[in-house]
Amino acid sequence: MHLAAHLSAVDGTTVRTDTVRTDTVRTDTVRTDTVRTDTVRTSTVRTGPRSGSRSPSDFASFERLARTAERGLFDFLLLDEGLRLPEQRGRIRDPDVVGRPEPLTVLNALATVTDRLGLAATADATFHEPYELARRLATLDHLSGGRAAWHVRTSSDARTGENFRRGGHLDRADRYTRAAEFVAAARELWDSWTPDGTPRPFAHQGRHFDIAGEFTLPRCPQGHPVVVRAGDSEEGREFAASSADVLFSGRWAGGRPEAGRAFYADVKRRLAKYGRGPDDLKIMASAAVVLGDSAAEAHERAEEIRWQQVSPQTALLTLERIWGVDLSGHDPDGPLPDIDPVPDPRLDPVPDPRLGPGRTRHGDRVATAEKWRALARERGLSIRQTVFEAGARQSFVGTPESVAAELAESVARDAADGFVLVPHPTPGGLDEFVDRVVPLLKERGAFRTAYEGTTLRAHLGLAEPVWKG
């Protein structure tokens, strides 16, 4: 079994405990050293002291999470990238991006306080360029001794594009073709030095990139940084089968093992057409774990966390994304709006609770609104209760023994090769899993008892890429 931890900026399962919660603020008054906000995706709850640890740029929080993951013998830690402060009608709606440092810089610092843990950064193939990103990833791989990974994202956010010279955003098909060419170009750069350390000129000509020159760094300690891809769509599956080393899936959101098994089998079948074997791509499912001394206590804790994630402000902002109008005057403990949604292509994709908290899809806003109204009518729910009930539950809720058994069985039954855990609360939420579940997984023979190699590829059981000079 493979395990990773994910500090997410977009999935909305984080409940923080290191700072004090504040309300949503206007984007023109944000102070990233002190201000935190509620969000459409999660209500960020902080109960710690008013101290230096309250800042999202405080290295101590990242260090604690990384040291805990390494103590638990995890394969890697994944940090998300936030290229723009997500806004909704002039309000910041994603607190985990406000003031958070750029992930590769943080991971380079974490390389100095960890020895074996893999270090993965999200980097958007829509807005970065091959040479600069390949160089930064290679730098991390050298400084960490072969522990770097790249989570390839393909952004659909037009607002983010405004921060870059390109502006706007790419069509869906173009995002995937650019990402595939981006990965190919990066691998050409990483292979431009021979294994014995001789630099050679590189040249890449394609639809999206036309670059030539000389790469500044020798071949990486693990050959190439590990390439991670997240996504359950048809395009995402094919992309992963053709070029990724790890596929990060949300099919387990809300605890659906049958969906996980079907997804796993489908993606593994696709590998043969690219000359790859089943072990060449690791499929790791996104999972949230809530533990208790009894099943009842675990479920009670899970409900508490979910209510923290759906604050009154969060509930209203979630509805605004569907209805397309200002609902700030509505009572979150009152009924859903009786007006129809206003179509607006500039708005974010429609929230899709089936994919887990904060996960989204493009869809029919009117149809989504009708489904939520039907749910509210049937059960007599308020706005906040509807958002709460429409959201997915945590994947694994129970005692340490029952959770360890479920995780091990899932891997044994080919539902996943492992799990990417989104710890809540953050940054201390991983400690309980490492202290109480990991030892049980070791006893079952389902998880390693020590790191056997020094590189991330060794942890994942991935062969070093053949040099293509």
Residue listed under structure tokens 């309000």: 91
* Cα distance from N-terminal residue to C-terminal residue, the chain: 34
pLDDT per position as a tens digit, 380-391: 999 999 998 887
- Reported as a pLDDT band with limits 50, 70 and 90, residue 408 is very high
Above 80 in pLDDT, residue 209?
A: yes
Read off the tokens for 190: 């990483």
The rounded distance, in Å, linking the Cα atoms of 383 and 386 is 5
pLDDT for position 40: 33
The rounded distance, in Å, linking the Cα atoms of 77 and 449 is 18
| Mean pLDDT rounded to a whole number for the chain | 84
The DSSP result for 292-360, as a single string, is -SSHHHHHHHHHHHHHHHS-HHHHHHHHHHHH-S--TTS-TTSPPPSSPP---TTSPPEE-GGG-TT-E
Residue listed under structure tokens 């991935």: 462
Q: Is the peptide bond before 341 cis (omega within 30 degrees of 0)?
A: no
Percent residues over pLDDT 90 in the chain: 60
Residue 445 makes CB contacts below 8 A (sequence gap 6+) with: none
Question: CB–CB of 73/448 below 8 Å?
Answer: yes
The rounded distance, in Å, linking the Cα atoms of 392 and 263 is 18
Among residues 444, 426, 336, the alpha carbon closest in space to that of 385 is found at 336
pLDDT per position as a tens digit, 5-41: 998 764 444 555 554 333 333 333 333 332 222 333 3
Average pLDDT over residues 50-64: 72
Above 50 in pLDDT, residue 347?
A: no
Residue listed under structure tokens 């999972």: 287
